[in-house]
Structure 1
Amino acid sequence: MNPATDDLPRRRLPREVRTRQLLDVAWALIGEHGTDALTLGRLAQEAGVTKPVVYDHFGSRNGLLAALYRSFDERQTVVFDDAVAAAKASLQDKARVIASSYVTCVLTQGREIPGVLAALSGSTELAAVKRQYQQSFIAKCAGILAPFAGPDGISTPAMWGMLGAADALSDAAVTGDVTPDDARAELQQTIIAMVRRHKA
């Protein structure tokens, strides 16, 4: 015990700022010790807050994992939307931007996001959260690529196949099995080939 510090009032942050701080600490904790080490108690300790504060923000460990995934997806969406808007209106360029943005975003989170995704898949409720974001990404990409395909657009199975390729190549880049540039290039060619198969 340290009376000099224990008697000091805890600094109250606005809820949104506190949530951001807790998520940042959670990402750092996962990065250093892995997803299994992430508990609400451990997060409270690392963030220098009481357990009730963490429970108030996330409710449960599953709630925390879902919030981490949402924060990852939100960052990915901003980067993705900006890159697509700046790209030239050609299939080559749009495919390049989709591929580059996806791989780069996963690399930015390093080894942390696969652990969160693995934990998400273990819960029916959290798997639904992941699926919601996957469907949103697929719909967005289908809209971006539709002008380069036939009148029927790109089939749903093909879009899921593209997402599977994006995940696999990004994971391989994270683990060092392929270079990031090779992952981006392969995904770009996969997208281009998929679109060309759906031309009239």
Structure 2
Amino acid sequence: MSTARTREHASKLRPRRRLSRGERHRQLLDVAWQLVREEGTDALTLPRLSDKADVTKPVVYDHFSTRDGLLIALYRDFDARQTAIFDAVLEANKLTLEATARAIATSYVECVLTQGREMPGVLAALAGSPEMEAVKREYQVAFIERCRRALAAFTPARGAALASFWALLGAADALSHAAVAGEITARQAQDELFETIMSIVSRSFEH
């Protein structure tokens, strides 16, 4: 028996390591992202994920219950990554207004670009889902609060207007997705978002 065949035979005989629930959840999310990337959101079903991940259907249903549950888990996963990048960049660039504004703009656009081609399909598939609307709103409010805290040292005691932060979120989404679509460059998106943030801080002193 050749060395390669010996290795293959030994691999088949070797028992697989049992994944913890957290490890299995991570594996299923990674495979789901791969499916969306390669075949589109329409191809993402729980039975298809079961086949692709090489696990039984009850395992997949135990983690996500429904297709909407899986799609919402992907959205939460995306937001968690975005939050981690945002917090890490802010921590490293929190000394000046310019550095903070640049950190917010850069981290938001970069995160959307990293996984942005898959997200529009995920969000479209969840359009009209009350649960998704609640989850999305939760994360929007959390993002605004993170921005408010990050910029608090550079605004008056009352802070910038809440409406300005909602406008910032809208601009961040629109610019990032334009960059994903190739309509503008990532740098143009980041620069425009940076200017939007600087304008918000400047206008906070006008009233």
Normalised by the length of structure 1, the TM-score is: 0.92
Name which of 150, 167, 170 aligns with 1:144. 150
User: After TM superposition, where is structure 1 displaced by more than 3 Å over at least 4 residues in a row?
Assistant: 6-12
Q: Considering only aligned residues, what root-mean-square deviation do their CA atoms show, in Å?
A: 2.0
| C-alpha distance after superposition, 1:50-69 (max 9, x if no partner) | 11110000111111111111
2:91 counterpart residue number: 85
CA distance in 2, matches of 1:43, 1:22: 7
Q: How far, CA to CA, are the matches of 1:142 and 1:36 in structure 2? A: 37
Query: How far apart, in 2, do the equivalents of 1:162 and 1:156 lie?
Result: 10
Q: Residue 111 of structure 2 is aligned with which of 105, 108, 112?
A: 105
- Give the letter aligned to residue 78 of structure 1: A
Match of 1:121, SS state, is coil
- TM-superposed CA distance for 1:119, in Å, is 2.6
One-letter amino acid of the structure 1 residue matched with residue 118 of structure 2? E
Instruction: Work out the CA distance in 2 between the residues paired with 1:80 and 1:198.
Output: 23
The answer to whether the aligner puts 1:177 opposite 2:190 as a matched pair is no
Kindly provide the amino acid, as one letter, of the partner of residue 57 in structure 1. Answer: H
2:116, 2:177 within 8 Å by CA — same for their partners in 1?
Answer: no
In the TM superposition, what is the alpha-carbon distance from 1:10 to its structure 2 partner?
6.9
- Asked if the contact 2:36/2:44 (under 8 Å) is kept, the reply is yes
1:132 aligns with 2:138: yes
Q: Residue 126 of structure 2: SS of its match in structure 1?
A: helix
Residue 130 of structure 2 corresponds to residue 117 of structure 1: no
Residue 186 (structure 1) aligns with: 192
Structure 2: how far apart are the matches of 1:124 and 1:39? 20
Matching residue of 2:21:
15
1:160 paired to 2:166 = yes
Distance 2:188 2:102 in 1: 12
Instruction: Give the letter aligned to residue 51 of structure 1.
Output: K
Unmatched runs of 5 consecutive residues or more in structure 2: 1-8
Q: Show the counterpart of 2:4.
A: none
* In 1: Cα distance, 2:52 partner to 2:36 partner: 12
Segments of 5+ residues of structure 1 without an aligned counterpart are: none
* TM-score normalised by the chain length of structure 2: 0.89
% same residue: 58
Q: How many pairs align?
A: 197
Contact 1:148 1:199 in 2 (8 A): no
**Cα separation, partners in 2 of 1:53 and 1:10, compared to 1, 3 Å:** farther
Match of 2:78 in 1: 72
Bigger Cα Rg: 2
1:97-134 Cα offsets, whole Å, 9 max, x none, are 00000000000103101222223332011111111011
Deviation at 1:151, TM superposition (A): 2.1
What is the alpha-carbon distance in structure 2 between the residues aligned to residue 158 and residue 133 of structure 1? Answer: 17
Match of 1:96 in 2: 102
Contact 1:120 1:130 in 2 (8 A): no
